[in-house]
């Protein structure tokens, strides 16, 4: 079936059946939708994936680190042939002030052995590879087609209405993998509209740089990659992070901040990104790199507390549309893939039973909880965003820690004991004892 046929279906002139029917409709060709579509098609279900972008990946953005093991559950050994950037062997965390940085990191050759842990990727390439796999399995991908509405009959989802002329498509089960702004899911009443305190606005630049220069600057061998997550000054102490990842012949530099916090400052995300590029610890790493792409996107931050029901009569929700992102560990694509896969398995089951009710599709949530760390991890961090909002973890503490390091590492006429006392006094000047105690207790309660 071609795209043109889809547009024509339902018109009297074509003489074709006036109802375009599939076994499964997947909305959105991101990692969640493509995983769902691949698994359904492999099981022999007549599967259509509808994507509003020109091609899969063109509307998408991610830092991006792709985790191998979850991805391989849908596309085994994909790393042997997929268009990946670099195999990440070093992961760093930087705590920053305007002009200084405390660096922590872990580097290990084990990350590259056997099944490598993770790779840097560019979405436009990797999504198209996943799309090819879905098509090879038998799924039909229709690009440049927006789903405007979910069709229902007597409380059951029965299909979707696309923006194409006569573009209604029917299936007994619809998997909504529409990403961070889940308008269809909201229209079904399955989740609240996106609010500024549950989404981060992010911007990213891809900066072209010769592979040899990347390898020299980051201390890497050919094919090896490094990641840096940055906290504190890059987001001016607001709730968010910045990142710098090595690709094959480019760097991905970006940052994200909770929308509600951004709304309170006059600057734009672009301003903060330019500021980050001038930071003395970042500037030498990106020197001479040419901006090749600039993009902006949202990340869902609602987590466990805002997770929708995930299923209804004839419908399941996967990936970002269901808030399945663990921002603290920069994990989203893995949960998208695992939830897409699990929704697909549940759809296959429902077809075997011939029953698409919420009772049967409800096994999706149970299955996801039993087979993937997704729901347990989101639950573990369900208080994390609130904690970060109410404690100065990204403002007072980075500056204090940097000040303490500077005192202890500066050799002058003071004794080390004098310096320790000065650090304690300075800490108490910047944060009252009860404030620190509350930070520690609430931190323990929120993260452990």
Ligand X SMILES: Cc1cc2nc3c(=O)[nH]c(=O)nc-3n(C[C@H](O)[C@H](O)[C@H](O)COP(=O)(O)OP(=O)(O)OC[C@H]3O[C@@H](n4cnc5c(N)ncnc54)[C@H](O)[C@@H]3O)c2cc1C
Provide the binding-site residues for ligand X, judged by CB under 6 A: 27-33, 50-53, 59-65, 146-147, 177-180, 184, 202, 204, 254, 256, 297, 299, 319-321, 325, 330-334, 336
Nearer to ligand X among residue 95 and residue 177 (C-beta): 177
Measured distance CA(167)–CA(36) in Å, rounded: 22
In the complex, the smallest distance separating the C-beta of residue 202 from ligand X, rounded to whole angstroms, is: 4
In the complex, the smallest distance separating the C-beta of residue 420 from ligand X, rounded to whole angstroms, is: 39
Measured distance CA(3)–CA(433) in Å, rounded: 65
Nearer to ligand X among residue 59 and residue 351 (C-beta): 59
153 contact partners, CB below 8 Å, separation of at least 6: none
Nearer to ligand X among residue 343 and residue 396 (C-beta): 343
Nearer to ligand X among residue 126 and residue 233 (C-beta): 126
In the complex, the smallest distance separating the C-beta of residue 150 from ligand X, rounded to whole angstroms, is: 10
In the complex, the smallest distance separating the C-beta of residue 428 from ligand X, rounded to whole angstroms, is: 37
- Cβ–Cβ contacts within 10 Å for residue 393, how many? 17
412 contact partners, CB below 8 Å, separation of at least 6: none
Nearer to ligand X among residue 96 and residue 131 (C-beta): 131
Nearer to ligand X among residue 289 and residue 298 (C-beta): 298
Nearer to ligand X among residue 97 and residue 333 (C-beta): 333
Residues β-bridged to residue 161: 149, 168
Measured distance CA(296)–CA(266) in Å, rounded: 18
In the complex, the smallest distance separating the C-beta of residue 67 from ligand X, rounded to whole angstroms, is: 6
Nearer to ligand X among residue 319 and residue 398 (C-beta): 319
Measured distance CA(364)–CA(375) in Å, rounded: 12
In the complex, the smallest distance separating the C-beta of residue 125 from ligand X, rounded to whole angstroms, is: 14
Nearer to ligand X among residue 172 and residue 225 (C-beta): 225
């Amino acid at each position: 079936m071609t795209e043109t046929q889809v547009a024509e279906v339902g018109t009297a002139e074509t003489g074709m059946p006036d109802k375009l029917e599939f076994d499964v409709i997947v909305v959105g060709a991101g990692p969640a939708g493509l995983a769902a579509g691949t698994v359904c098609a492999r099981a022999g279900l007549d599967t259509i994936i509808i994507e509003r972008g020109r091609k899969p990946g063109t509307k998408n953005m991610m830092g991006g680190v792709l985790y191998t093991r979850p991805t391989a559950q849908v596309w085994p050994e994909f790393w042997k042939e997929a268009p990946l950037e670099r195999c990440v062997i070093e992961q760093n965390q930087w705590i920053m002030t305007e002009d200084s940085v405390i660096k922590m990191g872990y580097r290990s050759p084990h990350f590259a052995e056997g099944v490598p842990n993770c790779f840097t990727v560019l979405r436009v390439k990797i999504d198209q590879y996943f799309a090819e796999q879905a098509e090879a399995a038998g799924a039909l991908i229709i690009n440049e087609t927006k789903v405007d509405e979910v069709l229902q009959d007597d409380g059951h989802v029965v299909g979707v209405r696309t923006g194409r002329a006569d573009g209604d498509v029917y299936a007994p089960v619809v998997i909504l993998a529409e990403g961070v702004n889940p308008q269809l899911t909201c229209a079904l009443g399955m989740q609240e509209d996106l609010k500024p305190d549950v989404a981060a606005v992010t911007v990213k630049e891809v900066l072209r740089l010769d592979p040899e220069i990347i390898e020299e600057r980051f201390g890497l061998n050919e094919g090896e990659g490094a990641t840096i997550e940055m906290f504190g000054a890059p987001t001016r102490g607001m709730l968010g992070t910045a990142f710098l990842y090595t690709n094959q012949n480019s760097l991905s530099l970006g940052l994200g901040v909770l929308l509600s916090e951004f709304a309170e400052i006059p600057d734009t995300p672009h301003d903060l990104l330019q500021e980050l590029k001038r930071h003395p610890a970042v500037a030498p790493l990106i020197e001479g790199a040419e901006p090749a792409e600039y993009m902006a996107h949202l990340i869902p931050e609602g987590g466990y507390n805002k997770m929708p029901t995930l299923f209804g009569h004839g419908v399941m929700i996967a990936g970002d549309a269901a808030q399945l992102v663990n921002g603290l560990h920069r994990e989203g694509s893995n949960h998208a893939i695992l939830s897409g896969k699990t929704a697909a398995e549940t759809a296959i089951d429902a077809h075997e039973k011939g029953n698409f009710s919420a009772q049967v599709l409800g096994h999706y949530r149970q299955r996801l909880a039993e087979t993937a760390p997704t729901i347990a991890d989101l639950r573990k961090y369900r208080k994390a965003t609130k904690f970060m909002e109410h404690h100065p973890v990204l403002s007072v503490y980075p500056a204090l820690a940097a000040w303490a390091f500077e005192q202890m590492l500066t050799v002058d006429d003071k004794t080390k004991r004098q310096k320790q006392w000065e650090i304690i006094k300075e800490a108490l000047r910047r944060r009252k004892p009860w404030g620190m105690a509350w930070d520690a207790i609430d931190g323990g309660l929120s993260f452990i």
